[in-house]
Structure 1
Amino acid sequence: MNSKNPELISFLKSRRSTPVLQLDEPAPVREQVEEMLTIASRVPDHGKLAPWRFIVYAGEERAKAGDALAQIVMSDDPQASDERLALERGRFTRAPLVIGVISRAAVHPKIPEWEQIMSAGAACHNLLLAANAFGYGANWLSEWYAFDNRAWPALGVKETEKVAGFVHIGTRTEAPFERVRPALEDVVTWRGAF
């Protein structure tokens, strides 16, 4: 008979993303971030390929990333409003720490590319869990710049890669609220009895 871990079950059942505008200082310290990334790396990884990597945006690098995004917006729309440019400049400074999860999925003779992509998604989720386990709020976002390869050089993403998401981490400024979750009967198909 298997024994359960009630504390872990309760933690998993109450996991909640924190809206990015509710994340503030202090950020995790480097040692905590290294532990979070170690946890994020413990995901299913058929073939032991590590088909993902992490980019940590901290300090002034966050503002530099936002400046690069604003430049792209200005090149697309020279009439972009000051508000829009301020929004783009602030993309990486909304939370005190941002970690990019980058998919390195590629054609492989035995491991389907789809499995590699899902492994990167699992790394994003494990990073959320790790941040929450350390007492921080976190949010996994993929906004326009995750899909616009013109932004990638400034963000450190190679042209052979894809962005699985940007995980924003910080201290919650408000208690997390619960949202409606799907009813199991709407998302589960039972085949067979046990």
Structure 2
Amino acid sequence: MKKHERIALDSLLSRSSTDDLTTPAPKGEELETILSAVMRAPDHGKLRPWRLALVHGEARAKLADRVVASMKRIDPNAPEKKIEKRHHRFSNMPLTIVLGMHLRPDDKIPLLEQQLAVGAAGMNLLNALHAAGYGAVWVSGDIAYDPVFATELGFPAPHALAGFFFVGTPKDSDHDAKRRPVTPYVAEWKGEPVSFGADKD
């Protein structure tokens, strides 16, 4: 394996999610380069069903207010502590990237494959952020499935939200999570249905 290939592989193997973030977040040309990684996601039919909405600065508080409104719409009895926690998170993250799904239900490409393409784009985004030295976490929750909230963000049905990426600089440079062994999740198929060690717990 060549040195540059090893470096790229080590980057993939060392990525982990964190929401313990501070400034700076990427911006300008650096952010554009990072975001360009989504365009390399596998995409059957070349529909490019991903959309990215950037939220920073004063808009963070507006997004947080919409998040709270969505929570109360979904559950009028939502615990106040949960509401405060989410409002704080969305208000204070250096950068939030909303990942939207621009779906075409009547296209010949199955809807599931369109959604999978958006998921692949999201993973490319996480890997690109990590490779550039930033931290991030991909979150969803009940608000991600609120069609009213999705419409407020610019994704009316049949489009939808795939989640939110909190982005910034990790406060703890040693935040990497311990990597789990892959063996329990791998099996060799030899003509009969496979079973996995991970499913035997």
1:177 partner SS: coil
> Hey, what does 1:14 align to over in structure 2?
14
Of residues 63, 67, 77 in structure 2, which corresponds to 1:65? 63
Give TM-score scaled by structure 1 length.
0.85
Mark the CA change 1:186 to 1:79 in structure 2 (over 3 Å): closer, same or farther: closer
Would you tell me which structure has more helix in proportion to its own residues? 2
Mark the CA change 1:55 to 1:64 in structure 2 (over 3 Å): closer, same or farther: same
**Runs of 4 or more off by more than 6 Å in structure 1?**
none
- Runs (5+) with no aligned partner, structure 2: 191-201
> Hey, what does 1:177 align to over in structure 2?
176
Question: What is the CA distance between 1:80 and its match in structure 2?
Answer: 5.4
Give TM-score scaled by structure 2 length.
0.82
CA distance in structure 1 between the aligned counterparts of 2:105 and 2:45, rounded to whole angstroms: 13
CA distance in structure 1 between the aligned counterparts of 2:70 and 2:182, rounded to whole angstroms: 43
1:10 partner SS: helix
Mark the CA change 1:85 to 1:114 in structure 2 (over 3 Å): closer, same or farther: closer
Mark the CA change 1:84 to 1:187 in structure 2 (over 3 Å): closer, same or farther: closer
Question: What is the CA distance between 1:147 and its match in structure 2?
Answer: 1.0
CA distance in structure 1 between the aligned counterparts of 2:125 and 2:17, rounded to whole angstroms: 12
Instruction: Say how many residue pairs are matched.
Output: 187
The residue identity in structure 2 corresponding to 1:132 is H
Question: What is the CA distance between 1:77 and its match in structure 2?
Answer: 2.9
The residue identity in structure 2 corresponding to 1:77 is P
Q: Could you report, residue by residue, the CA deviation over 1:62-108 in whole angstroms, capped at 9, with x for unpaired residues? A: 11011122234445537853x44422322423421011111123234
8 Å CA contact 2:102–2:155 kept in 1: the answer is no
Mark the CA change 1:142 to 1:85 in structure 2 (over 3 Å): closer, same or farther: closer
